[in-house]
Amino acid sequence: MTTRNFIKRMPKIDLHCHLDGSLPPETAKRILADMGETWTREDVEKAMGVPEDCRSLAAYLACFDLPIRCLQTAGTLEACAHDMAVRAAAENTVYLEARFAPSTQGVLGLGVREAIEAVDRGLKKAGEETGIETGIIVCAMRHLPEEVNLAMFRTAREMLGCGVCACDIAGDEASYPMSLYRNLFEEARRLGLPFTVHAGECGSRENIYEAIDLGAARIGHGTAAAGDRALQALAAERHICFEDCPTSNVQTSILPDYGANPVREFRQAGIPVAVSTDNRTVSGTDLTQEFEKLQAYGLLTEDDMAGIYFDSADAAFGGDDLKERLYQKGRAFFGGRPGGRK
């Protein structure tokens, strides 16, 4: 079996996947038509896709204007969640954690609970059709008032285990450092709501240190930890998984190219790593392509991919039963490979 076929056939786990950034173009086109707007697929892809001259996270985030406008009703959220998960399952993604910011879905009067319930319905329907297992990570947004984010976390806690599996914070990290959100994540910890944090995506190691100090179980991106042996040792000691998103990190100029991705450095330091898509439509990628890029640049072997699968299963925000199912699927494919021990 060639490595390319190996990647296509292997089971995959996507722990960092934004719902709005993964709105399938055909779904967006259908939603826009229902809104009375005529768009071609090419126009949708251009509006949502990262431009070639993108040079920053702020520019990258501008690509979310159209999907956020599309996802303002229970029906559109459900359709997006369903279609995204079905597409993920088609590339043998066996577990997907879809993250979104329910507090941004309020233009047409949709509440936080209603938004989460709609996404959950779509994901569960996809699971019934394809067998993919899923969870929902609710995202606070850095630019929103603290009281809005706090209210959303409290609602999410009430739904923990009923679709919701964790929380996060996303947005323009460069303009809003983690030190501003101590109260928010101290409340999440008090509530018993597990969390990951977008940190170190814009070069700030301090944001990663702050997230770890606050109790983050995982770090979204974490690219700034490259070269920092003390920070890597801390993350490894606490078994904090880094959610590596190769394509988006190149598109936002966090990394100059795929060869600069720190996945090998992090794994050699003992940090669990989960390779993820970030935004399937905005970045024009899927999980198969993410692994193929890293392998093409000599950063991953097949044994590394087995190790990443089990790192991802360990780090999943789900119960022991879910993890055991993921372990079984991994053992069935990877067998006794060095990275496949479980």
- Which residues are bridge partners to 12 per DSSP? 93
From 201, 290, 292, 302, active-site residue: 201
Beta carbons of 309 and 340 less than 8 angstroms apart: yes
Burial (Cβ within 10 Å: 0-12, 13-18, ≥19) of residue 100: buried
Q: Which residues in 7-33 are b (16+ Cβ under 10 Å) and which e?
A: beebbbbbbbbbbbbbbbbebbbbbbe
C-alpha to C-alpha distances, 94 to 2, 133, 148, 320, 330, nearest whole angstrom: 21, 6, 33, 16, 10
Collect all residues with Cβ–Cβ distance below 8 Å to 217 and sequence separation of at least 6.
Answer: 166, 194, 195, 196, 240, 241, 315, 317
Q: Given CA atoms 39, 84, 130, 12 in this order, what sign does their dihedral have? A: positive
206 as an active site residue: the answer is no
Q: For the chain, what's the residue count?
A: 342
Taking CA atoms, 194 is separated from 83, 98, 281, in Å, by 26, 15, 27
- Mapped onto helix, strand or coil, the DSSP state of residue 99 is strand
Residues 38, 74: contact at Cβ < 8 Å?
A: no
CA pair distance 224, 236, nearest whole angstrom: 15
Spatial separation of the C-alpha atoms in residues 97 and 16, rounded to whole Å:
7
Of 279, 244, 274, 281, the C-alpha closest to 262 is 244
Please give the Cα distance from 340 to 271 (Å, whole number). Answer: 16
Catalytic residues: 201
